[in-house]
Amino acid sequence: MAIAAALVVVPLGLLFLLSGLIVNLLQAIFFITIRPFSKSLYRRINRVVAELLWLQVIWLVDWWAGVKVKLFADSKTYALMGKEHALVISNHKSDIDWLVGWILSQVIGWSMWFTEYLFLERSWAKDERTLKSGLQQLKDFPRPFWLALFVEGTRFTPAKLLAAQEYAASQGLPIPRNVLVPRTKGFVSAVSIMRSFVPAIYDVTVAIPSDQPPPTMFRILKGQSSLVHVHIKRHEMTDLPETDEGVSQWCKDIFVAKDALLDKHKSEGTFGVDPRQLGRPIKSLLVVVFWSSLLSYATFRFFKWTELLSTWKGVVLTTAAVILVTIVMHIFIRFSQSERSSTARAARNRAKKD
């Protein structure tokens, strides 16, 4: 990591980690004192508390890096966004697709658990029970939610595309050009459980214009902008087939159509619908200003009270803490890069062997 980038990453990392500890403490207190008596009230409070942490990430994208998101959606889909429960299926084009989803819906570690994230291991034998029990708990969720499934199972890279094309050819499936072959077991399970209380499926297609650099976490932390195009098509849950086999084939057909839509975007630079430019939410800016002011004052008072920097031992401890934060942020950035993932390495190795 370059020194100039580290000078940016370290303060942002400290801000996120310290505020995260405070948020986690609040979530634990509410989990113990409120959730046993009112699950609904706990969820409403926890949503506000969780936003105090995760809106900082939205601020990074919207305000710090200035990443622009152009939304392509018909008027009915746009009018219902954020007003209903929805199951979202998307291609996994970039390292930050999950962040784009947060921006559209406006919304690590313990915070995710308290917010009822589902932690999966990319193994159906291990994940089936976790997924089914987690989805069942969403039946009485008090506010509209989006549940996002990246059914390709991993992020898109050329090496993974080559492996997907080889697999499709061996199975007699349509050869993909811009997406990977979807893994439908999780989607089928989600649909079977959520039919009764989720009215819609949002088919999301993410594309990066050819004249734009792909957005990565490292570019965002360095304040470098990019442009992302997002197409959303709404499907009624009641329109899906009734059988598991039918739902699986429906998902596969959606990705064949998505592949063709991405071909169109490559040739025309647009999804063919009038785009909507999403504005930058003021809420994320206010959250960052709040935490920056609070933690800066608290840090100043702490060092003044402890006189930590007046001794060599204190200087060494402070330096070690800064180095630790730098290492943690470096690991986080590397983990977010699709080309460094284990599945990417496996796909490259397979391609080399052939």
- pLDDT tens for 64-107 read 888 888 999 999 998 998 888 888 899 987 666 666 665 665 54
| DSSP state letters, 166-191 | HHHHHHTPPPPSSSPPP--HHHHHHH
Q: Are 255 and 98 in contact (CB under 8 A)?
A: no
pLDDT in the model for residue 347: 41
pLDDT in the model for residue 11: 81
**Residue 127: alpha-carbon gap to chain centroid:** 19
Beta bridge partner(s), residue 149: 89
Instruction: Return the DSSP state at 238.
Output: G
CA distance 180 to 68: 25
- pLDDT tens for 33-49 read 999 999 889 888 888 88
pLDDT in the model for residue 259: 96
Intra-chain end-to-end CA distance of the chain, in Å = 34
- pLDDT tens for 226-281 read 898 999 999 999 999 999 999 999 999 999 999 999 999 999 999 988 888 777 88
- pLDDT tens for 143-179 read 788 888 888 888 888 899 999 999 999 999 999 999 9
Confidence of residue 124 (pLDDT cuts 50, 70, 90): low
Model-level pTM? 0.79
Mean model confidence pLDDT for the chain: 81
Q: At what angle do helices 39-59 and 282-306 cross, to 10 degrees?
A: 90
CA 17, 19, 24, 29 dihedral sign is positive
Q: Residue holding tokens 């193994």?
A: 123
Query: How buried is residue 328: exposed, middle or buried, by Cβ count under 10 Å (0-12/13-18/19+)?
Result: middle
Confidence of residue 116 (pLDDT cuts 50, 70, 90): low
pLDDT in the model for residue 243: 95
Residue 350: is its pLDDT beyond 90? no
Higher pLDDT, 314 or 97: 314
Query: Which residues neighbour 133 within 8 Å (Cβ) at sequence distance 6 or greater?
Result: none
Which two structure tokens, joined as six digits, stand for 28?
Answer: 């634990």
Confidence of residue 125 (pLDDT cuts 50, 70, 90): low
pLDDT in the model for residue 181: 93
